[in-house]
Amino acid sequence: MYQVLLTDRAWPSLDIETEVLAAAGARLIEAPAGDEKTLCELAAEADAIATNWAKVTPAVIAAAPRLKTVARLGIGLDNIAIPECTARGIPVTNSPDYCTHEVSDHALGLLLALSRKIAFFHHRTKQGEYNLGAGLPLTRIKGQKLGLVGLGNTARALVPKARALGLEILAHTSSGNDYGTGCQMVSLGELLSQSDFISVHAPLTPATRKMFGKEQFRQMKPTAYLINTSRGGLIDEAALEEAIKSGCIAGAALDVFDPEPCDLSRPLFQDERVIVTPHAAFISEQSLEQMRREVMEQIVQVFRGEKPRNLVNLK
């Protein structure tokens, strides 16, 4: 019987995973903790590893002589040692579009909350201050510019939603490809200097880590806002804190952090110009069911000697 090691999860039950694997004669084993030592011990008997946020390190992979596949319960792959998997011929999979609707909706919601200062007014009003003037000035959304850093599935889903509000859209990708969106493609510098809102949709890699730092914030408008629903490591949080404190930019909305969970006592997260949500953009009942089922089905595909649907290496 094949054994599938589940490193961690963000949902209450394992009914979907158990159902899909049992139908293929496989058994699910859940790790009691996601630290490297625990995972190395359990990986010795694993034919597959499925991970949500826990790190599947080179040591974990080396400890799994029977390993046939590593599956990411999500989109980003920065928590999996892909070079080691590739060197051993181990396919790595993910679920690239399971929460496209949810994350693009969340990014748009954060934009609206920043633009209309909804979170600011909510916080002040709940504390007993009924004062419209505290949030002025406010600017009409229509005609403002939204800059998209990255044009993956989520960013492309955001494009028509943002256009429906009358936003003009600029985008930057390393390839310059607009992927059929019709977005005006610009350099990162042009995007930073022209955008009223910047929404980050880039993968976290060594090249993109802290791609938003002091220099990038200096190039932004003092009235501009930063929105990040991608990966916390893309932002230099210390530089962001200073940029907001000094008035270099107007504020930010963050759903992802580095590390997670973040220290909510830090001044950055206490600042009323910063909206904070707990890595919640991806979640809906529908998105979780789609992702969980798809990831388990891909593990079964590998067990059957088939090419998995969303293979990210060994192509």
Residue 215 maps to a domain:
yes
For residue 298, is pLDDT > 90?
yes
Residue 309 annotated among the catalytic residues of the structure: no
Contacts of 10 (CB under 8 A, 6+ apart): 52, 53, 283
Tell me: do 123 and 229 sit in the same domain.
Answer: yes
Among the listed residues 260, 266, 289, 309, the single catalytic one is 260
- Residue 296 sits in the same domain as residue 252: no
In a domain, 266, yes or no: yes
Whether 93 and 233 share a structural domain: no
Give me the residue label for tokens 């992802």. Answer: 256
Q: For residues 277 and 256, what is the distance between their CA atoms, to the nearest angstrom?
A: 8
pLDDT tens across 80-99, in order?
999 999 999 999 999 999 99
The Cα 66–Cα 33 span in angstroms is 21
First to last CA, the chain: 28
Mean pLDDT of the chain: 97
Q: 118-173, pLDDT tens digit by residue?
A: 999 999 999 999 999 999 999 999 999 999 999 999 999 999 999 999 999 999 99
pLDDT for 5: 98
3-class state of residue 169 by DSSP? strand
Residue 310 lies in a domain: no
Statement to judge: residues 14 and 78 lie in one domain = yes
Q: Which two tokens stand for residue 84?
A: 């080691």
Burial (CB < 10 A; 0-12, 13-18, 19+), residue 259, is exposed
Q: Please indicate whether residue 260 is annotated as part of the active site.
A: yes
The answer to whether 84 is a known catalytic residue is no
Residues 178 and 127 in one domain: yes
* Crossing angle (nearest 10°) for helices 100-115 and 118-126: 70
Average pLDDT of span 5-21:
97
- Selecting among 106, 156, 231, 292, the annotated active-site residue is 231
Q: The domain containing residue 208 runs over which residues? A: 100-276
Q: What is the distance between the alpha carbons of residues 150 and 250, in angstroms, rounded to a whole number?
A: 22
Domain shared by 117 and 263, yes or no: yes
With respect to residue 162, please indicate whether it lies within any of the assigned structural domains: yes
Do 65 and 212 have their domain in common? no
What does the alpha-carbon distance between residue 56 and residue 48 come to, in Å, rounded to a whole number?
11
| 85 shares a domain with 15 | yes
Query: What is the arithmetic mean of pLDDT over 68-86?
Result: 97
In whole angstroms, give the CA distance from residue 301 to residue 315: 16
241-261 tens-digit pLDDT: 999 999 999 999 999 999 999
CATH code (residue 13) = 3.40.50.720
In this predicted structure, the answer to whether residue 30 has a pLDDT above a threshold of 90 is: yes
Residues 254 and 134 grouped into a single domain: yes
**Banded pLDDT at 77 (limits 50, 70, 90):** very high
Domain count, the chain: 2
Q: Where are the beta strands (DSSP E) in 90-137?
A: 92-93
pLDDT band at 43 (very low <50, low <70, confident <90, very high): very high
Task: Identify the active-site residue in 101, 218, 279, 293.
Answer: 279
**So what's the pLDDT on residue 315?**
79
Q: Is residue 60 part of a domain?
A: yes
d(CA 55, CA 86): 16
The answer to whether residues 52 and 179 belong to one domain is no
Are the C-beta atoms of residues 207 and 165 closer than 8 Å to each other? no
In a domain, 221, yes or no: yes
The tens digit of pLDDT for each residue in 207-243 reads 999 999 999 999 999 999 999 999 999 999 999 999 9
Do 122 and 268 fall within a single domain?
yes
313 inside domain: no
> Does one domain contain both 84 and 118?
no
Report the share of the chain in percent with pLDDT over 90: 99
Is residue 312 included in any domain, yes or no?
Answer: no
pLDDT confidence bin for 35, thresholds 50/70/90: very high
Residues 6 or more apart whose Cβ sits within 8 Å of residue 43: 5, 49, 60, 61, 63, 64, 67
